[in-house]
Amino acid sequence: MDNYKHRPFWWDEAGLEARELAEGAADLPDKADILVVGAGYTGLSAALTLARGGREVVVVDADMPGYGCSGRNGGLIGPSFHKLGLSGLTAAYGSERANAILRESMDSLDFLKNLIKTEGIDCGLKADGRFRGAVRPRAYDTLLREAESLHKSVGLRFEPVPKSEQHRQIGSDYYHGGIVLPDDGHLQPAALVIGLCERARQSGARVFAPARVTGLQRESHGFSVQISDRLIHADQVLIATNGYTGAELSYFHKRVIPIRSAIIATEELDPQIITELSPKGLGYGDSDRLVIYYRPSPDGKRMIFGGRVFDRADRPDKYSTDLKRLMTRIFPQLSGVGITHAWSGTVAYTFDHAPHLGEHDGIHYAMGYCGSGVGRANYFGHKIALKLLGSRDGKTALDGLDFKTHPLYTGSTWFMPAILRWHAIADRMGL
């Protein structure tokens, strides 16, 4: 039985909670030009752009900056292509828009790398690629076909890796070959939160936490917002709460589906073991429907291994065991290794598998990254800020998509365990 801490490894490594990243709610001002709700990548990236655009920006988070997905994720970065793929997108939106949406996915990755570089954020960025393994022989052909089609349509770079050459990318015999996406990579998620928050504050944004928005009232000019025991006025409001959107923001609550994803971190290992498992320090994923993702820690001493979990509740007793079993199926070399951290968070899915940004009833929003948001949340946070600033550069390929809900969906995800179990069965049957 592992004696793990039930908290993100990243928080300990980056000292997230010890940083003074926010002011207390008692110091909230009476008014702001723009109130940003949520201090994850979306909210902080938007705040940086808005503050540099000359606006008085107040960011509030119900817990602390990076408390949500942004301080908990696997840190894997890539273009995060729309789940429908080229053919599904073309069927839904026509070829021109489909291509624009896919191209913008590539732009979001470039944007993130550039943001980290120009802002000088020290977040362990390693952009040497990601290996996607084929769990079955047939999946190898599918991976190649999909990558080839993305190469033709939007110039995605990829390298086929036949099984005979797999050991150069991964110290495992689990896969039947795969592809390397050389522009992908990984980073330290909490360190990125810290860097963004510091840059946003240095640019003039004020960040407050813990400070939960519990009510939002439209007025003749702007909004009156209830935050903790304070009522403040904001000319404009940006909702950046993603998978942590509560019923107090009911329009958005009914449009994002929070799905739990969990991660374990191994104890420190001999760096030689990590080099054997991950010779080039890549990020990893595979062809199964039930998502898994893994990568070495930035110091190259641990394996960080994550995936979707069946329970709606946060059950580390269950997912630590399940993830460890999956990890040792891929890397038998890790059986017997201890787990030091186990944690989870809720990613935000949407009914059309696309992120959404725009304006509803005068309230701006950006959310719904469907589990792949490190690049996209930073990018769309910037874009929604440009829209708030009235800049034409805020235009995106996703503009105007209907932010759908379902008449029977109230924000409760009672149906998710059944869907995820079906994905697991489909994976086992090779469907």
Query: What are the φ and ψ backbone dihedral angles of 81, each rounded to 5 degrees?
Result: -65, 150
User: Closest approach of Cβ 94 to ligand FAD, in Å?
Assistant: 27
> Considering only 123-131, 243-251, 268-276, 297-305, which stretch makes contact with ligand FAD by CB under 6 A?
243-251
Q: Identify whether the C-beta of residue 398 lies closer than 8 Å to the C-beta of residue 357.
A: yes
| 62 in contact with ligand FAD (CB under 6 A) | yes
Could you tell me how many residues of this chain bind ligand FAD (CB under 6 A)? 46
| d(C-alpha 217, C-alpha 38), whole Å | 18
User: Closest approach of Cβ 211 to ligand FAD, in Å?
Assistant: 6
| 263 in contact with ligand FAD (CB under 6 A) | yes
> Considering only 15-23, 104-112, 236-244, 329-337, which stretch makes contact with ligand FAD by CB under 6 A?
236-244
On the question of a cis peptide bond just before residue 8, with omega within 30 degrees of 0, the verdict is no
| d(C-alpha 370, C-alpha 264), whole Å | 21
Return the number of other C-beta atoms located less than 10 Å from residue 265's C-beta.
23
Rank residues 374 and 397 by Cβ distance to ligand FAD and give the closer one: 374
| 60 in contact with ligand FAD (CB under 6 A) | yes
User: Closest approach of Cβ 41 to ligand FAD, in Å?
Assistant: 4
Which H or E run contains 389?
none
User: Closest approach of Cβ 296 to ligand FAD, in Å?
Assistant: 13
Burial class of residue 56 in the structure, from the number of CB atoms within 10 Å of its CB (0-12 exposed, 13-18 middle, 19+ buried): middle
Rank residues 41 and 93 by Cβ distance to ligand FAD and give the closer one: 41
Rank residues 144 and 326 by Cβ distance to ligand FAD and give the closer one: 326
Phi-psi region of 121 (alpha: psi -120 to 50; beta: other; left: phi over 0): beta
Of residues 287-346, which lie at the interface with ligand FAD (CB under 6 A)? Answer: 293, 306, 344-345
Name beta bridge partners: 77: 185
Rank residues 62 and 282 by Cβ distance to ligand FAD and give the closer one: 62
Of residues 74-103, which lie at the interface with ligand FAD (CB under 6 A)? Answer: 74-76, 80
Rank residues 11 and 244 by Cβ distance to ligand FAD and give the closer one: 244
Query: Judged by CB under 6 A, which of 200, 213, 216, 256 binds ligand FAD?
Result: 213
| 265 in contact with ligand FAD (CB under 6 A) | no
Q: Identify whether the C-beta of residue 200 lies closer than 8 Å to the C-beta of residue 207.
A: yes
| d(C-alpha 254, C-alpha 304), whole Å | 32
> Considering only 68-76, 135-143, 265-273, 409-417, which stretch makes contact with ligand FAD by CB under 6 A?
68-76
Closest CA to 102 of 116, 118, 86: 86
Query: Judged by CB under 6 A, which of 241, 266, 287, 405 binds ligand FAD?
Result: 241
| 109 in contact with ligand FAD (CB under 6 A) | no
Q: Helix-strand-coil percent breakdown of the chain, rounded to 5?
A: 40, 25, 40
Closest CA to 334 of 373, 299, 294, 298: 294
Furthest C-alpha separation in the chain: 67
| 248 in contact with ligand FAD (CB under 6 A) | yes
User: Closest approach of Cβ 95 to ligand FAD, in Å?
Assistant: 26
3-state SS class at 305:
strand
Name the closest residue to ligand FAD (Cβ).
Answer: 373
- Return the amino acid letter for 429: M
Rank residues 134 and 291 by Cβ distance to ligand FAD and give the closer one: 291
| d(C-alpha 208, C-alpha 211), whole Å | 6
| 347 in contact with ligand FAD (CB under 6 A) | yes
Name beta bridge partners: 126: 186
| d(C-alpha 269, C-alpha 78), whole Å | 27
404's tokens: 């759908």
| 355 in contact with ligand FAD (CB under 6 A) | no
Rank residues 332 and 362 by Cβ distance to ligand FAD and give the closer one: 362
| 379 in contact with ligand FAD (CB under 6 A) | no
Query: Judged by CB under 6 A, which of 243, 296, 298, 316 binds ligand FAD?
Result: 243
| d(C-alpha 3, C-alpha 342), whole Å | 10
| 246 in contact with ligand FAD (CB under 6 A) | yes
Rank residues 144 and 190 by Cβ distance to ligand FAD and give the closer one: 190
Question: Alpha-carbon Rg of the chain, whole angstroms?
Answer: 21
Q: Which residue has 């993830």 as its token pair? A: 323
Q: Identify whether the C-beta of residue 38 lies closer than 8 Å to the C-beta of residue 61.
A: yes
> Considering only 19-27, 41-49, 84-92, 266-274, which stretch makes contact with ligand FAD by CB under 6 A?
41-49
Query: Judged by CB under 6 A, which of 14, 68, 150, 282 binds ligand FAD?
Result: 68
Question: Which residues sit at the interface with ligand FAD, rule CB under 6 A?
Answer: 37-43, 60-63, 67-70, 72-76, 80, 212-213, 240-246, 248, 261-263, 293, 306, 344-345, 347, 367, 369, 371-374, 377
